């Protein structure tokens, strides 16, 4: 078998109590048609055996997989930033420890970024799989790309972290201490700074739980809602939107939350 082409990508995986899923995520990287230069695992003070599992993976894959760990839990924003700071390659690809990639994910997305140097960040679609042992393998057909506008991204977060590849040298980072919608805030800050963000209209990632909404607890929905409201407040405070836009977006967000809460209530009744 010919050795895989190594591409200049650092994969960053924030890890928190992911003993049961990290192996699946790593396998999806190993099975890529091209090989990233390095994989950086960041343990966010899991305290449940996760760090031991990560060190075991690092031993298995020698210097290709690197592990760093926090002494205290700091949240996913800090974990991603820590991996980002350790990354040595010009491109960063994020993967959550409970997700997995299609085997052609890096091949296609890196190829796109290389062919479009004006693009700072790209993302793609996600397929939700019901079975935790299901492999993210399906045919890749024709696809298109479309530019993400500030307005569309303000109305809803159109990118999930595990789909994102970006240039390492952008000055923005995830907001430290922000534990909900931290990704949405970063994408918006990049757009407001004039960076070009695109989305590829094809599924290159598999998730194994509902992305957002009915399947979540009502308390989690409220935390997500507070995070979105805080994101709009931050964008307003930095002068990227005016007061009327901020107020309108906040009301729109609360309306979406009320709808999700209604769906969750109906879902609970249906399950009985």
Name which of 163, 147, 157, 166 is nearest 202 in CA terms: 163
pLDDT tens-digit readout, 246-255: 999 999 999 9
Query: Looking at per-residue confidence, does 186 or 209 come out higher?
Result: 186
Residue 1: predicted pLDDT: 52
Task: With beta carbons less than 8 A apart as the criterion, state whether 125 and 201 touch.
Answer: yes
Residue 66: predicted pLDDT: 97
Tokens describing residue 152:
């569309």
Q: Looking at the domain 6-207, which fold is it?
A: Spore Coat Polysaccharide Biosynthesis Protein SpsA; Chain A (3.90.550)
Task: Provide the pLDDT confidence category of residue 130 given band limits of 50, 70 and 90.
Answer: confident
Distances (CA, A) of 271 to 213, 214, 216: 15, 12, 14
% of the chain beyond a pLDDT of 90:
85
Tell me the pairing of strands 6-15 and 65-69. unpaired
Q: Which of 74-83, 157-166, 207-216 has the lowest mean pLDDT?
A: 207-216
| pTM strictly above 0.75 | yes
Residue 214: predicted pLDDT: 45
Residue 206: predicted pLDDT: 96
Task: Provide the pLDDT confidence category of residue 215 given band limits of 50, 70 and 90.
Answer: very low
Residue 10: predicted pLDDT: 98
pLDDT at 2 over 80: no
Task: Spell out the domain ranges in the chain.
Answer: 6-207, 218-271
């Amino acid at each position: 078998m010919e050795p895989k082409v190594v591409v200049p990508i650092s994969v960053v995986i924030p890890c928190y109590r992911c003993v049961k899923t990290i192996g699946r995520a790593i396998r999806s990287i190993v099975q890529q048609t091209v090989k990233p230069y390095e994989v950086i695992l960041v343990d966010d003070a899991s305290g449940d055996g996760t760090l031991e599992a990560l060190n075991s993976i690092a031993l298995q894959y020698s210097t290709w997989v690197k592990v760093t760990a926090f002494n205290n839990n700091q949240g996913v924003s800090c974990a991603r930033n820590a991996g980002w700071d350790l990354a040595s390659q010009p491109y960063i690809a994020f993967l959550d420890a409970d997700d997995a990639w299609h085997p052609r994910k890096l091949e296609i997305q890196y190829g796109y970024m290389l062919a479009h140097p004006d693009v700072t960040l790209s993302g793609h679609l996600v397929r939700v799989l019901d079975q935790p042992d299901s492999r993210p393998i399906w045919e890749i057909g024709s696809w298109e790309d479309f530019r993400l506008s500030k307005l569309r991204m303000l109305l809803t977060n159109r990118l999930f972290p595990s789909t994102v590849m970006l240039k390492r040298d952008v000055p923005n980072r995830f907001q430290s201490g922000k534990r909900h919608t931290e990704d949405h805030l970063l994408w918006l800050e990049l757009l407001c700074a004039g960076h070009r963000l695109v989305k590829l209209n094809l599924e290159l990632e598999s998730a194994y739980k509902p992305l957002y909404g009915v399947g979540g607890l009502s308390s989690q929905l409220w935390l997500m809602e507070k995070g979105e409201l805080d994101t709009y407040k931050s964008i307003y405070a930095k002068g990227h939107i005016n007061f009327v836009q901020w107020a309108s977006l906040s009301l729109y967000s609360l309306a979406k939350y009320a709808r999700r809460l209604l769906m969750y209530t109906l879902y609970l009744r249906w399950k009985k």
